[in-house]
A and B are shown apart, each in its own frame.
Chain A
Amino acid sequence: MSTAKLPTRPAAGTLARLAAVAFLLVASLGAIDNIGAARAATIVIVNENAPGVGFNDPTPADPVGGNPGTTLGEQRLIAFQHAADLWEATLDSDVPIRIGASFVPLSCNITSAVLGAAGATEAWANFPGAPRTNTWYPGALAARLAGVDLTAPEDPHISASFNSLLGLTPTCVPGLTFYLGLDNNAGAQIDLVAVLLHEIAHGLGFQSFTSGDTGQTLLGRPAIWDYYLLDNRSGRTWAQMTTAQRAASARAWRGLSWNGANVTAAVPGALGPAPLLSISGGAAGDAFGRYGVGVAGFGTPLGTTAVRGELMPVVDQANGNGLACSPLNALNALAVRARVALVDRGTCDYTVKARNVQAAGAIGMIVADNVAGEVAGMPGEASDITIPSVRITRADGQRLKTALQARSRTASGVMARLAIDPERLAGADDQRRMLMYSPTAIAPGSSISHYTTEGTPNQLMEPSINADLTHEVAPPRDLTLPLLRDIGW
C-alpha cells in the first residue's frame, strides 16, 4: 500500500469564470482498518478560515435565494453545506469525507478570476479492495473502496479554496460577485453552489494525477484516471502510453476522450446536437469547410433550419478588426445588412456586439476570438437579441478574413451557414464519447481534468462556470456522476 499526499494550493489559472483544480506531490502513508457496507455518503466541512475572514466573515448579509445566513461567512458556509448535501445524496460511502475548505484570495484581475480550486489531498495505491493494483486512487474514493478511512483523522480527504476577493475589490472583476442563494437563480452573478459542486467533484476524483504538461505519472505509477483517458486518434489510453505520448496527447484539441462505460452511455441523453458553421461559396477558397463553434447563451439557438447568408466583416479598428461595441457606421451597416456579420472578440460584452449588428440588419453573428486557443462559448443574456451567434477561434477568424479580402462593399462571395449537425453531439467525439479539455497550450490546473468546453448544454465539469448550469450532477442533464462511477464510486 502506498500513498502520495497532494498539496492544496490553488492552480494559477486566469480564465474568466474559471474553476480550476489544484493538486500534486508529497508522499505520506496512511492506515487501513475494517471494511463496512456502503451507504449514503457523509461530507464533513472543515472550516479552515481564521476568525473574521472567509467562512467567518462577519459582514452583515441579507438572506438571499433560500440562504438564511445573516453574515457573509454564514451564507458561504450554508451554500457549501447545501452543495455537500447534494453530493451526499448522490454518493455511497461508509467513510465520512472531510473537506478542508477556506475562502482565500485567489488569482484574479479586472476581467477574469480563478473562482475556486480543489483536489484530493492524498492518492492511494494497493490498498485492500483496490480494483486495480499499482494504480492511484484519490483518498475519498480509496476509503470508499476499502470501506475504511485510509487518511489520518486530522487530515482532510479534499482541500478546497474559493476566491474571497471576487467582485469585492476594484482589481478582482469588480461587480461580478458570487451569488450565495441556493435556488440556482444567479442571474449575471457567479453561482457559488455550482462552483462548490464543481470543486467537490474534483476532490472526489474528477482530476488527473498524471501531469498533462510533462506526461509523467505520479511517482511512476498511473492513476485510475489514466485507464479511461483515451487518445481518440491512436486508440490508446493514458495508462498504455509513454510519457511523451501523454504529453503530446494532452495538447491535442479534440484528441482526448473519456472512455468510461457510464459516461459513454449517458452522453446521448445529456448532449445536444453539435452546432456547426459551414463556409462555402465561390470565393471561400481555403476557408471552405466546416467549423467547430462555441454557442451563445443569448439569441436564437441554432436549429435544424439553417441560417444562411453571405458573410461580411465589420471593420471599425485601424488594425482591420471589428469590435462592434458601438452602433455600426454607414459602411459597416451597408456591409452586414441582411448578411452574417463577422466581428472580433474584445472590449465589450458579446451581447453588445450582437445587439449592434442586429440593429444594422445582420441575420447572424460570428465572433472571432482575439487570442489563440480553441473554441468556447459566449455567455450572456439578452432577450432583445434574436439573431444566432457563434464563436470561432482566432485562427479560423483569420482564415475567413483572408477569404473576405476579395469583397466589395456589399458582397463577398463567401457564404456562411449556421445550423446544428444532426450527426454529431456537442462535446463528443465521432464515436460519441465525451471529449476532455485539451487545449493546444496546456492550461495549468484545467487541461485534462475537465470536460471539453464544447458541451451543449454546458456541463458542470467544464473549466469555466457557465450561466446555464443547474445544480444537477447526474444524467440526463449532467455527466459528472457517471465519470465518478467509472472510476469506482
Chain B
Amino acid sequence: MKRLNIMIASALVGAAASSPLAAQANVEVLDEGFDNLAGLTSWDRINRSTPPGLGWFQGNTDLFPPQSGGAGSYAAANFLGAANGMGVVDNWLITPTLPLSGLTTLSFFTNREAVDGFDDLIEVRFSAGSGTDASSFDTLLATIGGDNPFPADWRQWSADLTVEGEGRFAFRYLGDAATLSYIGLDTVRVVTAVPEPASLLMLAGGLGVLGLMRRKVGPAGRQ
C-alpha cells in the first residue's frame, strides 16, 4: 500500500475521524462497470480540451481487456481528446450526483497502454453538490501519472473522505496531447456510511477528506 497525493479539504477531519465507525452502516451508492458508457445518462462527459475532440468512449478490448465485465466494458480516453491529437487535452468523466453521508470511499481501477514515451495523466476530483462546473471540483483527491508513473496494468485505487450531502466525483484526463496515449477506467464504486442518529450531529456541516489514496494491485484482465 502506498500513499499518493492527498489533499485535506476541510477542517472537519478531526470530527469525522472521531466519529464512531461502528455506529455507521455502509451503503454502496455507485457501482459502475461501464458496460454501456453511452447509456449512462446520469453521468456527464465534458470535454474541455483545446480544441475539443473525442470525449470519453467505450473501451477498446483489442488495446487491453477490461478489468471486469464483457468485452470493452470500461471507459477510455485518449490523445484525441484534443481534436486530431493536436492541442491540450482536458477531458472529464463525472459521476452522477451521489447522496453522501459521512465516511465515504471511492474506489476504481485504471490501466494504460503499455508503451514507453508517453505521460498519461488522470486527476480525480470531488465537487460538493450536483454541478458540473470545473471550478466546483476543487478537491483534488488524487493524481495518477505525473511524477509517479501511470501503471500499465489494471490497478485499484481508493480514496476516503467524509462528506455530508450531495456530491460528484470527476475523472479528468489531461495533458499536452503529444504526450498522451490511451487510458482505461473501470469498476468505479462509492460506498458511503449512513451514520446512526447519534453520530449525525458530529458529521454535519461539510466535507472532510479523511483517508488517503491507496492503490492495490488488482487482478489482471477479466474477473
Query: Residues of A at under 8 Å CB distance from B?
Result: 281-283, 315, 317-320, 331, 334, 405-413
Residues of the B chain whose Cβ atoms lie less than 8 Å from the Cβ of A412 = 60, 62
Residues facing A in B41-84 (CB within 8 A) are: 54, 57-63, 71-72, 76, 78-80, 83-84
Q: Mind listing 22 A-B residue pairs with CB under 8 Å?
A: A282-B71, A283-B62, A315-B84, A315-B86, A320-B83, A334-B117, A405-B57, A406-B57, A406-B58, A406-B59, A406-B60, A406-B78, A407-B60, A408-B181, A409-B118, A410-B113, A410-B115, A410-B181, A411-B113, A412-B60, A412-B62, A413-B61
Are A331 and B178 in contact (CB-based, < 8 A)?
yes
Other A-B pairs beyond A282-B62, A413-B61, 10, CB < 8 Å: A282-B72, A317-B84, A319-B84, A405-B57, A406-B78, A407-B182, A408-B63, A409-B113, A411-B63, A413-B62
Q: How far is A5 from B156 in the complex, measured between Cα atoms in Å?
A: 82
Q: How far is A283 from B72 in the complex, measured between Cα atoms in Å?
A: 9
Are A407 and B78 in contact (CB-based, < 8 A)?
yes
Q: Which residue of B lies closest to A404 (CB)?
A: B80
If A281-B62, A282-B61 touch, whether A409 touches B84 (CB-CB below 8 Å) is no
B interface majority secondary structure: loop
Are A409 and B182 in contact (CB-based, < 8 A)?
yes
Q: Which one of B62, B80, B182 has the highest number of Cβ atoms from chain A below 10 Å of its Cβ?
A: B62
B69 CB to closest chain A CB (Å) equals: 15
A149 CB to closest chain B CB (Å) equals: 65
Residues of the B chain whose Cβ atoms lie less than 8 Å from the Cβ of A281 = 62
Are A409 and B79 in contact (CB-based, < 8 A)?
yes
Residues of the B chain whose Cβ atoms lie less than 8 Å from the Cβ of A320 = 83-84
The 7 closest A-B pairs by CB, nearest first: A413-B62, A408-B182, A320-B84, A408-B113, A409-B181, A406-B60, A282-B62
Say whether B85 faces chain A, with CB atoms less than 8 Å apart.
yes
Q: How far is A320 from B85 in the complex, measured between Cα atoms in Å?
A: 8
If A282-B72, A405-B57, A408-B182 touch, whether A315 touches B85 (CB-CB below 8 Å) is yes
Residues of the B chain whose Cβ atoms lie less than 8 Å from the Cβ of A315 = 84-86
Q: Which residue of A lies closest to B59 (CB)?
A: A406
B181 CB to closest chain A CB (Å) equals: 4
Give the A-B pair count, Cβ closer than 8 A.
63
B119 CB to closest chain A CB (Å) equals: 12
Residues of the B chain whose Cβ atoms lie less than 8 Å from the Cβ of A413 = 60-63
Q: Which residue of B lies closest to A320 (CB)?
A: B84
Are B61 and A406 in contact (CB-based, < 8 A)?
no
Residues of the A chain whose Cβ atoms lie less than 8 Å from the Cβ of B85 = 315, 331
Q: How far is A334 from B181 in the complex, measured between Cα atoms in Å?
A: 12
Q: Which residue of B lies closest to A413 (CB)?
A: B62
Are A282 and B60 in contact (CB-based, < 8 A)?
yes
Q: How far is A410 from B114 in the complex, measured between Cα atoms in Å?
A: 10
Are A283 and B113 in contact (CB-based, < 8 A)?
no
A361 CB to closest chain B CB (Å) equals: 15
Are B115 and A283 in contact (CB-based, < 8 A)?
no
B85 CB to closest chain A CB (Å) equals: 6
Are B86 and A411 in contact (CB-based, < 8 A)?
no
Q: Hey, what's the 0/1 contact readout for B72-109 against A, CB within 8 Å counting as 1?
A: 10001011100111100000000000000000000000
Are B54 and A405 in contact (CB-based, < 8 A)?
yes
Q: How far is A320 from B87 in the complex, measured between Cα atoms in Å?
A: 12
Tell me which of B57, B72, B78, B84 contacts A408 (CB under 8 A). B78
B153 CB to closest chain A CB (Å) equals: 15
Are B62 and A409 in contact (CB-based, < 8 A)?
no
B55 CB to closest chain A CB (Å) equals: 10
Residues of the A chain whose Cβ atoms lie less than 8 Å from the Cβ of B63 = 406-408, 411, 413
Are B118 and A406 in contact (CB-based, < 8 A)?
no
Residues of the A chain whose Cβ atoms lie less than 8 Å from the Cβ of B62 = 281-283, 411-413
Q: How far is A412 from B63 in the complex, measured between Cα atoms in Å?
A: 7
Are A283 and B84 in contact (CB-based, < 8 A)?
no
